[in-house]
Amino acid sequence: MKGIQLFALCCATAATSAALPEQYVLPEMGTVNTHALSTGNLYPAIARPWGVGLWTPQTVPNGRERWFYDYTHPRIYGLRHTYQPSPWIGDWGAWSILPLVGRPGTNAAARASWFSHKAETMSPALYRVYLAEFDVTAALAPTAHGAAFRFDYPAADVPGFVVDTFGLGEAALSSDGRRVTGWTRGYTQPKKYGTNLVQRFVLELGRPAAAAERLPDGALWVRFAPTSARTPVELRVGTSLISDEFASRSLAETAAGFDAVAAEGRAEWNRLLGRVRVQSDSIDRLRVFYTCLYRALLFPRSLGETDARGATVHFSPSAGDVRPGPYFGGTGFWDTFRALYPLLNFLYPEMSAQMMAGLENCWKESGWLPEWSSPGLVDCMVGNNSASVVAGAWLDGVRGGFDINELYRALVHGANNAHPTMKSVGRLGVEHYNAKGYVPRDVGINESAARTLEYAYDDWCIAALARAIGRPREEIDLYASRARNWRNVFDPARRIAVGRNADGSFNAAFDPFAWGGDFTEGCALHYTWSVFHDVEGLCEAMGGRKEFERRLDEIFALPPKFTSTYSHAVIHEMREMQVMGFGQYAHGNQPIQHMVYLYDWTDAPEKAGRRARDVMDRLYAPTPDGYCGDEDNGQTSAWFVWSALGLYPVCPGSGEYATGTPLFDRADVSLPNGRTLEIRAPGAAARRFPAAPAPRVRRADLLKGGPLLFGSAR
Ligand code: CA
């Protein structure tokens, strides 16, 4: 009964705040997943935009499990603090809190409570659930460095809660019963993070506890004295990666109490999501759009903390001590350079500037720019795409609080060196690439064609940045000439990207359907398009505009077959391509996500909009299985946000966006310069495809504000 009341209350709130975008966000979108098939590989992230930690209900028993949430599971094991950017990377600093009554079970599985999504409120700034086993309603409202909780306990039974550090930390109650102080390493993939990261937390109890007891599995049970009437207890938590003192200082974020924290969180989300205002009669489209925008504002996480003098400092995962300034972690540039960072630069450049300052700190502390950070350097994927992220920010006009010359030095270092142990940091195979113009496939380096293609684009980024900051001519020319290296893995006979041997011959056993090998999580059919900076050149190399268009069409017409070079045969990205019904257009992974917009370089640019609309309509849904593969830290969501606005950054850093067709008749974008971009596409919502004003538009023109009209008046 309690649950039904909560649900009704939630709906009433939504109806009275219809203009506020946060109400359309569905944190559960993309949360039904297995190792074999991803529909997002997400958990409901209850969090502040770019805050340090995230919170989520945990619906699997083992806290060390990386797939710790699945929407279809009927029991909750705790409200979990997490930093996990992706289950493939794993978690760190994880722990959970579970309110309950009576003596708890001796392990997580024995303590869990049944629950129903019908008795649950899920939104970015507030999570509330009825824990049926205990007749307790638990609510949480996150801050940047903590959260406020409210646990509504029934009368007469012994109210309490369990703090579980999953055997990787500990927690203790203070002698006055008012605070629980704890720490955890909480690693689910220990080898990836080093050993010095410790998450500290201080829980302040709104009512003094009566006692605490360590359970057989190491979790701490804290109990209150029973009450004669239903009584809520508020708890506030502050966290830190530095010290208990910093964690205590974080408690200030929740000083105003639960309701105020929840209201402040909702206001913050509305303020940020509200920079794009779309009109639609379709609640489904509003939900997908704002859910995607919300996912684009979560990662990377800002690890900065405020010291006693009010300055921002951070715990450096590389240096192992406290350093000045901001720091960010929890993103993989191989995924996110494509659409996410251009979106942040366009809509939230003040955050991009902080992220650049964070990258500068990472460079100074580790000697490298990260390619995957969580929060230190993580060895995952390929490439050197920090070049796109850094150059793209500067060329998109991001300024303030960082030294671009220092970051340029970092790019040049990364472009000319391989990390001694990590294959994805710097450039593996750089000695071959710089000597021959490509990474050979037969020198013991995997994914050689993919590396070559990405290095070539990254070199274009470095050249463009070098030009913008006035570097010497020969330096600009060097990188500009390396930017043409994509041609070295383009087989002119087969007219497709093919791995190449050290002697110059192309792979004789080439199979266009083969995933892995010379490519990364995809095949040549997907990777050949990775010439973001020279689409004209690729078009010519393929045989001209007509042939280029035919090849684009062919991707959708080919069967979704695959052959595998992986030892474990089928990776989930293959399966996701196979089941989608889009032929070889594997939108569930990143390499091909810009491809539909390449029609803008053909004589049929309207196909870009039609294909993009098809993808928006069929591969995104406001449901728990609503994505078509790993969402990947805002990238697959940023694709939707751009596409719904009728735009896409095919080549980050170019100052140019390809056009498609908007999803909404009207969208108003608040630009950082105070102007408003008014995207108008009459008829768009009614399944027409208003034509773009031009195949590509300049960023500088959009920043002037005013109308951008799709579709003629016919
Ligand atoms: Ca991916």
Which tokens in the block code for residue 533? Answer: 């900076």
Q: How far is the CA of 633 from the centre of ligand 1 (A)?
A: 9
b/e 627-644 (16+ beta carbons within 10 angstroms → b): bbbbbbbbbbbbbbbbbb
pLDDT > 60? residue 3: no
Q: How many CB atoms lie within 10 A of CB 177?
A: 16
Asked if the model's pLDDT at residue 18 lies above 60, the reply is no
Counting Cβ atoms within 10 Å, is residue 210 exposed (0-12), middle (13-18) or buried (19+)?
A: middle
Whether 487 contacts 498, CB under 8 Å: no
Residue 87 CA, ligand 1 centroid: distance in Å:
12
Whole-number pLDDT of residue 383: 81
Task: Give the helix/strand (H/E) hosting 10.
Answer: helix 2-16
Return the SS3 of 171.
Answer: strand
Distance (angstroms) between ligand 1 centre and the Cα of 424 equals 15
Q: Ligand 1 centroid vs 333 CA: distance in angstroms?
A: 11
Centre of ligand 1 to C-alpha 652, Å, is: 18
Closest CA to 274 of 295, 290, 296: 290
d(CA 475, CA 467): 9
Strand pairing report for 706-709 and 676-680:
parallel
Ligand 1 mean position, distance from CA 90 (Å): 15
Residue 17 banded pLDDT, cuts 50, 70, 90: very low
> What are 573-621's pLDDT values in tens digits?
999 999 999 999 999 999 999 999 999 999 999 999 999 999 999 999 9
Centroid of ligand 1 to alpha carbon of 636 (angstroms): 9
**Chain segment 412-425, per-residue pLDDT in tens:** 999 999 999 999 99
Predicted local distance difference test score (pLDDT) of residue 2 = 37
Q: Give the model's pLDDT for residue 567.
A: 73
Q: Which residues of 496-533 are buried (b: 16+ CB within 10 A; e: fewer)?
A: bbbbbeeeeebbeebebebbbbbbbbbbbbbbbbbbbb
What is the Å distance from ligand 1's center to 384 Cα? 16
**Which whole-number Å values give the CA distances from 539 to 27, 449, 482, 526, 682, in the listed order?**
40, 19, 19, 15, 32
| Ligand 1 centre distance from Cα of residue 495 (Å) | 26
From the number of C-beta atoms within 10 Å of its C-beta (0-12, 13-18, 19+), residue 277 rates as: middle
Q: What is residue 237's predicted lDDT score, i.e. its pLDDT?
A: 98
Task: Find the 212 Cα to ligand 1 centroid distance in Å.
Answer: 44
Per-residue model confidence (pLDDT) at position 62: 87
Give the range among 41-55, 115-129, 193-207, 225-239 with minimum mean pLDDT. 193-207
Structure tokens at 306: 């405020």
Q: Provide the pLDDT for residue 613.
A: 97
Q: Return the pLDDT at 566.
A: 81
pLDDT number for residue 195: 60
Distance between Cα 88 and ligand 1 center (Å)? 10
pLDDT-derived band at 12, boundaries 50, 70, 90: very low
Quick one: pLDDT at residue 712?
Answer: 64
Residue of 169, 240, 166 lying closest to 203 (CA atoms): 240
Distance 329 CA to ligand 1 centre (A): 18
Closest CA to 609 of 552, 712, 690: 690
- Compute, in angstroms, the gap from residue 632 CA to the centroid of ligand 1: 6
Residue 15, pLDDT > 80, answer no
Q: How far apart are CA 460 and CA 465, in angstroms?
A: 9
C-alpha angle 265-268-271 in degrees, rounded to nearest 5: 150
303 with 314: CB under 8 angstroms?
yes
The domain limits of the chain are 31-273
CA of 367 to the centre of ligand 1 (A): 27
CA 576–ligand 1 middle distance (angstroms)? 11
Q: Report how far ligand 1's centroid is from the alpha carbon of 561 (Å).
A: 19
pLDDT of amino acid 63: 86
Residue with tokens 């008795």: 119
What's the burial of 576, exposed, middle or buried (CB within 10 Å: 0-12/13-18/19+)? buried
Name the CATH architecture for the domain at 31-273.
Answer: Distorted Sandwich (2.70)
In this predicted structure, the answer to whether residue 669 has a pLDDT above a threshold of 80 is: yes
Quick one: pLDDT band at residue 167, thresholds 50, 70, 90? very high
pLDDT tens per residue across span 674-711: 999 999 999 999 988 999 999 999 999 999 999 999 99
CA of 637 to the centre of ligand 1 (A): 12
Phi, psi of 250 (to 5 degrees): -65, -20
How far, in Å, from the CA of 28 to the mean position of ligand 1? 19
CA distance 385 to 19: 38
Query: Are the CB atoms for 549 and 538 separated by under 8 Å?
Result: no
Q: Is the pLDDT of residue 429 over 70?
A: yes
Asked if the model's pLDDT at residue 86 lies above 70, the reply is: yes
Decide if pLDDT at 14 tops 60: no
Q: What is the distance in A from the centroid of ligand 1 to the CA of 518?
A: 17
CA distance 592 to 402: 32
At 225 the pLDDT is 96
Dihedral sign for Cα 192, 195, 197, 200, please. Answer: positive
Ligand 1 centroid, distance to 335 Cα (angstroms)? 6
The stretch 44-69 carries a mean pLDDT of 95
Q: How far is the CA of 589 from the centre of ligand 1 (A)?
A: 4
pLDDT at 190: 66
Mean pLDDT across 462-490: 98
Tokens of 399: 């300024």
Q: How many residues does the chain have?
A: 714
CA 630 / ligand 1 centre spacing (Å): 5
List Cβ neighbours of 684 (8 Å cut-off, separation of 6 or more). 661, 662, 663, 664, 665, 690, 710, 711
353-382 pLDDT, tens digit per residue, is 999 999 999 999 999 999 999 999 999 999
Q: How far is the CA of 634 from the centre of ligand 1 (A)?
A: 11
d(Cα 326, Cα 52) in Å, to the nearest integer? 11
Distance 53 CA to ligand 1 centre (A): 22
Cα of 490 from ligand 1 centre, angstroms: 24
- Ligand 1 centroid – CA 254 distance (Å): 36
Query: In the prediction, which pLDDT does 154 show?
Result: 96
Distance 176 CA to ligand 1 centre (A): 49
Q: What is the mean pLDDT of residues 297-308?
A: 97
Q: What is the pLDDT of residue 10?
A: 41
Distance CA 168, CA 674 (A): 48
Using the mean position of ligand 1's atoms as its centre, give its distance from the Cα of residue 616 in Å: 18
- Taking the centre of ligand 1 as the mean of its atom positions, its distance from the CA of residue 480, in whole angstroms, is 29
Percent pLDDT > 90 in the chain is 92
Closest CA to 460 of 528, 369, 392: 392
336 CA to middle of ligand 1, Å?
10
Q: What is the mean pLDDT of the chain?
A: 94
| Ligand 1 center to 457 CA (angstroms) | 19
Q: Quick one: which H or E segment has residue 696?
A: strand 696-698
618 C-alpha to center of ligand 1: Å?
Answer: 19
Report how far residue 45's alpha carbon sits from residue 27's, in angstroms, rounded to the nearest whole number.
Answer: 6
Ligand 1 centroid vs 501 CA: distance in angstroms? Answer: 27
3-state SS, residue 668: strand
Instruction: Give the pLDDT confidence score for residue 196 in this predicted structure.
Output: 76
Helices (H), 301-429: 333-336, 340-347, 349-366, 386-395, 404-415
Cα of 573 vs centre of ligand 1, distance in Å, is 8
pLDDT at 466 over 80: yes
